[in-house]
């Protein structure tokens, strides 16, 4: 068991899951212990998921590192963090994009959204917040986004999230038992998109992951 955020970060570097300097710097600064229930602080740096209440978990650090590397967020990006939970990924992304960027974390479980926002305030990020999910998937009123990170598993690719991306944007999302990197690109005249739009998607699949299911509902109180 790792005993500090720095030790956890070094482990993820040595095992090849963390590679990018900006993501490594964020992992070193944003302490996972600040985003879990107090009774679990002794397990904060374990490389496994932890319960955060309401049937939800904070993801395994290995998985978070893997997804952030796929997302490739950069300074100044506008990002949607869907399924923010206790706010850890939102805080990591806020550190990565800097004050020139913007991060919207959404969480379907209202008490967790409140918990996530409270945790986020420990870092005084003016560029980030965690809000309760609305009736529509994602945050269409704030779209378009440069990047979208989803921390719950969909049954299929949600087209409404692709619509909320800029052209050239990336979506990293679990679909069933795999993590997918989706890139929204212009459709060429030779290869038009199936729905007749001016864009299409490029997909990469990385199997072997498990997540809580993605639910499009505003009924969790």
User: Mind telling me the catalytic residues?
Assistant: 59
What backbone phi and psi angles, to 5 degrees, belong to 201? -120, 145
Contacts (Cβ under 8 Å, ≥6 apart) of 185: 167, 168, 199, 200, 201, 202
Q: Are 5 and 31 a contacting pair, CB within 8 Å?
A: yes
Nearest one of 46, 5, 44, 47 to 27, comparing CA atoms = 5
β-pairing verdict for 102-107 and 128-132: parallel
How far is C-alpha 39 from the chain's CA centre?
24
Beta strands in 28-117 (DSSP E): 50-53, 56-58, 78-82, 102-107
Q: Are 185 and 199 a contacting pair, CB within 8 Å?
A: yes
């Amino acid at each position: 068991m790792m005993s500090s955020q720095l030790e956890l970060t070094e482990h993820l570097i040595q095992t090849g899951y963390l590679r990018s300097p900006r993501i490594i710097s964020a992992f070193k600064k944003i302490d996972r212990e600040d985003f879990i229930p107090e009774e679990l602080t002794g397990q904060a740096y374990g490389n496994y998921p932890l319960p955060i209440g309401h049937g939800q978990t904070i993801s395994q650090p290995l998985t978070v590192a893997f997804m952030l590397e796929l997302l490739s967020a950069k300074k100044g990006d506008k990002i949607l963090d869907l399924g923010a939970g206790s706010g850890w990924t939102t805080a990591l992304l806020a550190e990565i994009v800097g004050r020139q960027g913007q991060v919207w974390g959404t969480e379907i479980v209202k008490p967790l959204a409140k918990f996530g926002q409270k945790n986020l305030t420990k870092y005084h990020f003016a560029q980030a917040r965690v809000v309760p999910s609305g009736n529509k998937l994602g945050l269409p009123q704030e779209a378009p986004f440069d990047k979208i990170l989803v921390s719950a598993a969909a049954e299929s690719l949600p087209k409404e999230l692709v619509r909320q991306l800029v052209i050239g944007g990336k979506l990293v999302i679990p679909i069933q038992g795999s993590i997918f990197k989706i890139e929204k690109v212009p459709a060429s005249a030779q290869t038009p998109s199936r729905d007749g739009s001016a864009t299409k998607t490029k997909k990469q699949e990385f199997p072997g992951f498990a997540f809580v299911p993605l639910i499009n509902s505003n009924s969790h109180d």
